[in-house]
Amino acid sequence: MLRYARKIAVKELQYGMYVEALDRPWLETDFALEGLYIQSDKDIERVQAVADFVFISTTEEFGSTDSLQPERPITPPSHADNVADRQPRAFRAELRTARVIRSDAKSVVETMQSDAKAGRAIDTQSARDVVVQMMASVARHPDALVWFTNLKNRDAYTAEHSMNVCMLAIALATHVGESEDDIREMGVGALLHDVGKIRVPSAVLNKPGQLTDNEFAEMRRHPEYGYEILENASNLSKESLEIVIAHHERLNGFGYPRKLNGAQISHYSQLVAITDVYDAITSDRIYQDGRSPAQALRIMRDTPGEFNTRLLGQFVEQLGAYPIGSLVELNTGEVGFIVPTMERKARPTVLIVLDHRKRRYFPQRMRDLMRFPKFEIVRLLATGAYGIDVDDYAEWFE
């Protein structure tokens, strides 16, 4: 239970105390985090240098702080990181590796698209290799790759969507506890799921207005096109191929192209369908702006009969009430990103990037809402709201 903070002189600071507030705004100091857990003489000296008194709570009242205090510099990972290494890492340590993996995945998807357009054979082994890298990253820290799914580029939608769907699907399948062999084959299918769109005329694919009946029918053929492109590809399992043709099938039978229903749709096609729709709704498209994660999940839950309710519930559980990297507005008018902590909490930690007038904070401030009950999240914002790009702040953690 929260208790009122106690005012003390800075000379009374001791190890184990948590500094909730100073005698001046945190913004007037060089502290990156609003709040400080006293763990060393250096911590005490830093506070004494800027304040005469503080408001504290002890660790017995609140528990220890999370892992977001600034750490020593981290050596960037080499391109050839050993993906067999699946030992847990801190978020900031894994984020740089995840960035490299995402870059590799983008290159793989773009190369596959180029090869398919030119009529060349698709190199499915490269897709398998990058999926194995993603699986290892999720094992080391499940939030690092998910953070990058908040990067949305309207002009590169198809490639980025394929990556995001794959990363989200791997994270969900890992959360559910699926076998590694199954996750690998599912991941390959998820990464390749939209390759058939290269056969859809660009005038249809990029049309800003409503599609005609004929145009819509052509768009709905992309799963079949993808199947045709990949059916003779070496190293591609039937499970992966099934995801390519079935990711738009729905449990109620109203999907396409084969109008399958219920158990006729493979388990992993049902799983990928969830991450496919979620990323599509939260992304900016030619014909619509992306919606917030909360709106996307609400839309999906309010569409009965389409999705596997057990898997959808686990997806909601995995993302949490406030998905990592999502943009939120506080009751103060401030805007920030949800950032990961050692454990998922009912009240998350937010990296504040805009002040109440929607001006950029510099330097940014971290605020743990568990420790500051007066601050409330009033709404989740769509990705890119106020011109904010999550990638602009990834280096804050790296």
Q: Note the pLDDT tens digit of each residue in 254-313.
A: 999 999 999 999 999 999 999 999 999 998 877 778 898 989 999 999 988 999 999 999
In a shared domain, residues 44 and 182: no
pLDDT at position 18 over 60: yes
Query: What is the total count of domains within the chain?
Result: 3
Structural domain contains residue 349: yes
Report, in angstroms and rounded to the nearest whole number, the Rg of the chain calculated over CA atoms: 23
The average pLDDT across 356-381 equals 86
pLDDT at position 52 over 80: yes
- CA–chain centroid gap for 371, Å, is 25
The average pLDDT across 100-127 equals 90
In a shared domain, residues 312 and 340: no
In a shared domain, residues 114 and 207: yes
Structural domain contains residue 310: yes
**H/E segment holding residue 21:** strand 17-22
In a shared domain, residues 124 and 171: yes
Q: Please, which residues have CB within 8 angstroms of residue 182's CB and are 6 or more apart in sequence?
A: 173, 239, 268
Q: Please, which residues have CB within 8 angstroms of residue 135's CB and are 6 or more apart in sequence?
A: 83, 170, 174, 180, 183, 184, 187
Q: Containing domain of residue 379, as a range?
A: 327-397
| CATH code, domain carrying 157 | 1.10.3210.10
In a shared domain, residues 133 and 274: yes
In a shared domain, residues 345 and 371: yes
pTM of the model: 0.79
pLDDT at position 75 over 60: no
In a shared domain, residues 109 and 176: yes
In a shared domain, residues 258 and 301: yes
